Structure formats: structure tokens, C-alpha cells
Structure 1
Amino acid sequence: MAERKTIVGGNWKMNTNRAEASDLAGAVSEGFTNGDQADVFVCPPFPYLIPVAERLSANNGNLVQLGAQNFYHEPNGAFTGEVSLAMLQDLGVSTVLTGHSERRHVIGETDVLINEKTLAALEAGLQVVLCIGETLEQREAGKTNFVNAAQLSYGLAGVTAEQMADVVIAYEPVWAIGTGKTATPEDAQKAHQFIREVLTHGMFNETVGQSVRIQYGGSMKPANAKELLSQPDIDGGLIGGAALKADDFLAIVNAG
């Protein structure tokens, strides 16, 4: 099995104000000092990318990488309200999210758009975290593997084996987020193992399948991080709520 470096990302979603974002970035970057231990990135809201970038740069030389929650796939033009990859790169962004469950199910992004965005970000030289995962209804209908395979296939259409070096997969069991239901480490591992098998045997090859890192995005917290991260096919976490408290986020990073 390939040795895969842990990768932990903080998705701040639509939270924080300018001062809170700057302070959180400062606390995270001051607390994370071992770049050999893990790759770490944070995705603040768009208005706070600049102050967060400044804080990350000031501490440990950008050891904590700057990520963006969203972007538009066209290089420029009449796209009111959108943000381009070049704009994000101008601010120091190195990682972007695509296919997040909230973009799919709340905003209504389609598989086609998610693929266009994934391809554009890879072409621009950014690391892409492609999020996939099933809803409660889909899980209860026994469609977990079908949904994950389909979202992988659509999202990565046209992506080369070489480009997969810049792709991270984040498995988000939508049914386990805010529903009161819990994904066990065994549930999570089973899904991650299936995703790796699809990448290895269905889409790419052994080299790609064994080297791609798969994050868990289903409410990872300090209390369950160690058990989740000890699973053989779970390579990190995409953290929501716990990423808004530096101590909790760093505890998850250190759990790996």
C-alpha cells in the first residue's frame, strides 16, 4: 500500500467576520509547525481571503495553505458575482473545493458544472478537493456505492492519470451531517475502500488508486478523529464545524 500523507482541510463555510477569520488563521498557523506530519489548508469566506492569507504568510511561511470554497470555471468575463481562478491564485490560493454537498444540494450545481470546474482548476495548476457522497434517501435505498461511483465518474471525466496527483477526494456522507445519524468508522472505511477500488480498477490504475488521498467529510471531531484516521483508507478530513475553533482543528490534525 502506498504511503499517503495525511491531509486536513478546514472549510469555514459562511462563518466568521474579518477579525475572527484573521485570529483563527493566526491561531491555526501558529499551532501547526510540523509540515512533515500533514498537509493542512483552510478555506475562509471570500471577503476574508486577503487577511487570512496575510496571517498564514506571517506564521511559518504558509505552512498552512490557503484554500477557496468556490470559483467559476471561465477565465474572465460577464459573470456577475463570480470569482475566477486567476483572481484566487493572485491572492495565494493553492487548493479549491469542487462538488461540495452544499453546492450540489443547496445551490444546485450539476455534475457537468462540477466537472468543468474540476478540469479548469487542474489546468490552472491548483490542487482540487472533489467532494462526493450520498444523501440519507440514497443510502436507505441502497445506492451508496452507485452514487459515489457516479459522482467520481462525472467529476473526474477527462482528468488524466497525471493530473490525479493534484486531486484529493473528500467523501461526505450527507446523511450523517445534521441528521442525528452517525457514520461509524466502519461505515466510513467501507465507503473509502470502495472509492479507492473504483479509482484503481474502474477509472485509472493501481498507482493512481493507491496514491490518491481520500478525506472523510462527515462531522469529524477531536473525539472521533483518531479512530477515523486510523482506518486504512481514510487519509485525512475535510472539517466544517470543528474547523472554527483552532484548538479543535489542531487536535484533529494531531490525531493523524
Structure 2
Amino acid sequence: MRKKVVAGNWKCNTTVQEGVELAKAVNQLVAAKGPEDVVVVLGAPFTHITKVVESVDGARVGVAAQNCAAEASGAYTGEVSASMVKSTGAQYVILGHSERREYYGETSEILNKKVALTLENGLTPIYCCGEALEIREAGTQKEYVINQLEETIFNLSADDFKKVIIAYEPIWAIGTGKTASTEQAQEMHKDIREAIAAKYGAEVAEEISILYGGSCKPSNAPELFANPDVDGGLIGGASLKAEDFIGIITAY
């Protein structure tokens, strides 16, 4: 039985103090209203992680880093390694986010290193994939997204692959005024699951949680989460407000 997951991605937002207050508010709401069968994750900035971990009930709310270094250690000024992330008490790392790929030049080669180090340190990768507008308009989105997976996490053994959570981001529908329909979301999630089945078998494909990362809000979460291949969401803006975030967590 694959897990339902709602993961917040705070991105480059909140001070440490604001992040702690947000984490405490989410923690209280999850304790009061959160379904026991939904995994909740807060993706905090590196500066916040230790204090956010201390501010939540780890049995109900997990914590993610939004990135990690492609090297284990060494002379890489400004980088934060997977082992450093592990030492904070975080359990997850968001990898391959479209903003990291676009703004910071993250390639499949770099992401393969990051995935390997994340897994070596006992952390769960939340691995992002997705296509830009020109790809969607050309009608080649399936081939593009599957190729992203084939170049990276499809290189993992079945045992390691089963430890990964996938997040699909329709980049063309984020902050563009365009909206991905629930049918479009389900179609891509189904394509991803079928590609996993072809690579690793149907049993593995049924175990993998595939999250939707395209402007998910309390208003559209119930419709999105009702799709058979949408197992939750990677939430951006709505994760910065505790009431909005719990509205998504309780949307199943």
C-alpha cells in the first residue's frame, strides 16, 4: 500500500523564528485534525532545520532539506552535505526541483550524485521531475519526463528505488496563469507509474508515491487527490500558511 504524502516546500521564505512558529502551528493542527494515514513533511531552509525538527512531533511531522551537496565533504564552501542534513534530524531531501535545475544548472549527472548520497545517509529523496511550457505545447511531455527519470533514479536498484518519493511538477502551470487540469495531472502520473512498472515491475510501481507539485491548494486538492495515481502533493505557497496546509492534508 503506497503512502499518502503532503510535503511543504517553503523555498527561500521565513526567518528562523517565523519558520519555527509556522512549524509549531502546523504541528498543532496535524495533532488535532491530521489523518493518521497521511505523511506530513515540512521542507525548511537549511538554517531552520534543527529548530524545526525540535518544534514538531517527529511521529506525525517529518522534516526535509530542500537540497544537498553533490559531494560527501571537502572544500566546497557554502555547500551542505547529506550527512550534515542527516545530523539535524531531518528525514527527507527534496532533489531536482525545477528551480534548482533552471537557476543553478543541476544536471542529471549532479542529481545522480545527490540521490546516491541521500540514500547512503538513510534519507528519503523527494525527487522532482516535470516539463516546461514549450515541451507541453509540443506534446512531448511524456517522453521528456520519462527521460528525466531514465537518466537518474531509474539507474537505482529496485531496493533503492522503492525508497524514493517522486514529485511531478508541471512547470508550465506554476506562476504562469495557466492551470493544469486534474485530468492532465492524472495522465502524467499514470505515465510515470507505467514507466516504473516497465522498468521495475508492477509490484514496485504500486509502492511508489507520486506527488503533484503544480499549484495545489485547499480548493483543488480534493479533486486532485481523488485521482488513482496522485498520492499527494509537493506544496509551495500554500505550505506557508498553516490553515491552508492543513486544508490540503485533510483533503483526501
Deviations 1:125-178 (A, max 9, x none): 111111000000111111100111101111214311111221011000000001
Runs of 4+ in 1 over 3 A off after TM superposition: none
The CA distance in 1 between the partners of 2:240 and 2:152, in whole Å, is 28
For 1:18, the equivalent position in structure 2 comes to 16
Residue 192 of structure 1, CA deviation: 0.3
Residue 50 of structure 1, CA deviation: 2.0
The CA distance in 2 between the partners of 1:166 and 1:36, in whole Å, is 20
Which shows bigger deviation, 106-115 or 175-184? 106-115
The CA distance in 2 between the partners of 1:232 and 1:82, in whole Å, is 38
Structure 2 residue matching 1:222: 3-state secondary structure = coil
For 1:29, the equivalent position in structure 2 comes to 27
Listed as ranges, the matches of 1:10-89 within 5 Å are 10-33=8-31, 34=34, 36-56=36-56, 60-89=57-86
Q: Is 2:206 aligned against 1:206?
A: no
Q: Is the 8 A contact 1:200 1:209 kept in 2?
A: yes
Residue 62 of structure 1, CA deviation: 4.3
For 2:228, the equivalent position in structure 1 comes to 232
Percent of pairs identical after alignment? Answer: 45
Structure 1 residue matching 2:183: 3-state secondary structure = helix
Residue 35 of structure 1, CA deviation: 6.1
Q: Is the 8 A contact 1:68 1:93 kept in 2?
A: yes
Residue 4 of structure 1, CA deviation: 2.2
Structure 2 residue matching 1:218: 3-state secondary structure = coil
Please list every run of 5 or more consecutive structure 1 residues that lacks an aligned counterpart in the other structure. none
**Amino acid of the residue matched to residue 214 of structure 1?**
I
Which shows bigger deviation, 154-163 or 144-153? 154-163
Specify which of 108, 112, 124 is matched with residue 111 of structure 1. Answer: 108
Q: Is the 8 A contact 1:119 1:158 kept in 2?
A: no
Specify which of 136, 159, 163 is matched with residue 160 of structure 2. Answer: 163
Residue 36 of structure 1, CA deviation: 2.5
The CA distance in 1 between the partners of 2:144 and 2:90, in whole Å, is 30
Question: Structure 2 length as normaliser, TM-score?
Answer: 0.96
The CA distance in 2 between the partners of 1:170 and 1:16, in whole Å, is 23
The CA distance in 1 between the partners of 2:105 and 2:210, in whole Å, is 24
Listed as ranges, the matches of 1:128-167 within 5 Å are 128-167=125-164
The CA distance in 2 between the partners of 1:209 and 1:157, in whole Å, is 12
* Number of residue-to-residue matches in the alignment: 250
Residue 73 of structure 1, CA deviation: 2.7
The CA distance in 2 between the partners of 1:223 and 1:205, in whole Å, is 35
Distance 1:210 1:151, change over 3 A: same
Q: Is the 8 A contact 1:130 1:155 kept in 2?
A: no
Deviations 1:3-33 (A, max 9, x none): 3221010000000112210100001111112
Question: Structure 1 length as normaliser, TM-score?
Answer: 0.95
